[in-house]
Every structure is written in structure tokens, then in C-alpha cells.
Amino acid sequence: MTTTITICDTCKREDWAKRGMAQTDGEALAALIEAAAKGVNGVKIRRHSCLMGCGKGCNLAIQAPGKLTYVMGDFDADQDSATGVVEYARLHSESESGQVPFKQWPQAVKGHFVSRLPVLGPEGE
């Protein structure tokens, strides 16, 4: 089953203005994640403007129908983060429940989990 990475494309790190970037950090991270996910089976990317975790950007969510959802934040827009997020999403796609054993977590996602949400059933329970 396909796992979707939803990346906030309006996130800005604290020093964003000082760095004079033309794009937001979220746009930069989204582009890196999109490139890293090319050719990776079971992983889809979408962008969304503001996941309401603005003080802890860059933020993203990892989701698939019928599986645990993971919200992550505090990422820099760099290659290590992008590669780690895509690898975690790939492992999420291969997992029946969405849970990925800690020993398989890429180093780049450690310390970036904000929350884990249980599956919502068809009746909202």
C-alpha cells in the first residue's frame, strides 16, 4: 500500500529571513524529498501549506489508509533529512500497521517525531 508524505511548503526555520532565501525552507525540503522519492516504490509526495506546527518547522506527516499516522517536525531542508524521511516512508509502506521497528529508523528521523495518531475507523471510532 502506498504511503504519502505530506510536506508543509510554507515552513520557515528561525533564521530564514537572515539567509535571504528566495523559497521557504518547506519548499526547499519538499523539492529534496520529491527528488529522493523518485523511483521509490510505495511512496507518494504531496505538498500542503501549513500543518499548524509553524514554530517547529519544517514539518511533515507520513500517512496511509488503515495505518498509524506519524507527524514529524524540526527538520532542516537538507539532503540527509530528505533521504531519511523517504526511507522511513518506504518502511512505513511495507509495514502492515505502519509501525516501523526502532532499529530500522534512519538516523535522520530520530528526535523529529511530534506525534503518532491511531487509525480512524469507518465510523470515526
- Interface residues toward ligand FES, by CB under 6 A: 8, 10-11, 26, 50-54, 57, 59
Nearer Cβ to ligand FES, position 57 or 84?
Answer: 57
The span from the CA of 25 to the CA of 6, in Å, is 15
Nearer Cβ to ligand FES, position 53 or 91?
Answer: 53
Minimum separation from the CB atom of position 75 to ligand FES (A): 11
Minimum separation from the CB atom of position 26 to ligand FES (A): 6
Quick one: cell of 29? 525540503
Minimum separation from the CB atom of position 107 to ligand FES (A): 23
First to last CA, the chain: 22
Instruction: Of 120, 116, 119, 113, give the one whose Cα is nearest residue 67.
Output: 119
* Burial profile 106-119: b = 16 or more Cβ within 10 angstroms, e = fewer: bebbeebeeeeeee
Residue with cell 511512496: 43
Nearer Cβ to ligand FES, position 40 or 54?
Answer: 54
Minimum separation from the CB atom of position 116 to ligand FES (A): 18
